[in-house]
Amino acid sequence: MRSLVLFVSLLIGLAGSAQALVTDLSSRRIEIRYSFNGAELILFGAVGATSINTLRDEYDVVIVVRGPEEPAIVRRKERVGGIWVNSDAMRFPSAPGYYAVAASRSLEEIASPVAFASYGIGFKNLPLVADSGTGRGLTVPPPEFRDALFRLRTGEGLYRQELDTVAIVDEGLFRTDVHLPANVPIGEFIVETFVFQKGSMKARHRINMHVDKEGFERAAYTFAHEWPFFYGLVAVFVALGAGWLAGIMGKK
């Protein structure tokens, strides 16, 4: 029922607007509580005919979901004396905490790599920088460290490059599912939709989504970040108390 209401609202918005593209999510705010194990959202979209003639030409849709920026460290392992140890490390001061790309076809069939690079679509087109390690500021990260970051976060379910498909429901209508894992970072997300025809970008639309902790989780998170020293003290006392109680129970 909620999806139907969203679909109707999209059509009304498209009819009363000069925009060629309108999108919306089944929910723009995700609340993380103790029982949170991920979220499944639906993104609906409608393509008008002001700059895109959907009856005359076929079109493709590419959707990019980008989460809040956060630092990341990638380490290279080497085998020394039969033991794997960390050797080189590279720190990315700012990388998307969540990044997903969904498309109606494979990206290579929709447009050229140059077209996607110009709009920053795809992980390899993200403008990532890393600490140089020499005290001289930031530098372009080597490809192997960039690829390692992608593999690590893909394994954590935080990066989804062309793992999801955009379904063209009808002429001018499309939808896709947005998968958020249980370890999704909190903060502002950007959901951007691109419409391509014959290799050229014809329309673009952006909406925002917010992920935040609620209830006790929100209070604990705020306490830990705004008063870290006192949070640490409380954590120590709780651990000591739990150990003492476990010892008493063990004696009985």
Q: What contacts 92, CB < 8 A, 6 or more positions away? A: 71, 72, 73, 74, 128, 129, 130, 141, 149
In the prediction, which pLDDT does 65 show?
A: 96
Model confidence band, residue 175 (pLDDT cutoffs 50, 70, 90): very high
The candidate with the shortest Cα–Cα distance to 220, out of 208, 234, 207, is 234
Report domain extents, the chain.
2-213, 214-252
Pairing assessment for the beta strands 200-213 and 138-139 based on DSSP bridges:
unpaired
**How many residues would you count in the chain?**
252
Contact between 45 and 61 under an 8 Å Cβ cutoff? The reply is yes
The predicted-structure confidence for 26-77, as pLDDT tens digits, reads as follows 988 888 777 788 889 999 999 875 555 554 568 899 999 999 999 988 887 6
The predicted-structure confidence for 64-107, as pLDDT tens digits, reads as follows 999 999 998 888 766 656 665 556 788 899 999 999 999 999 99
CB burial readout 112-124, b (16+ within 10 A) else e: eeebbeebebbbe
Domain covering 2-213 in this structure, CATH number: 2.60.40.3880
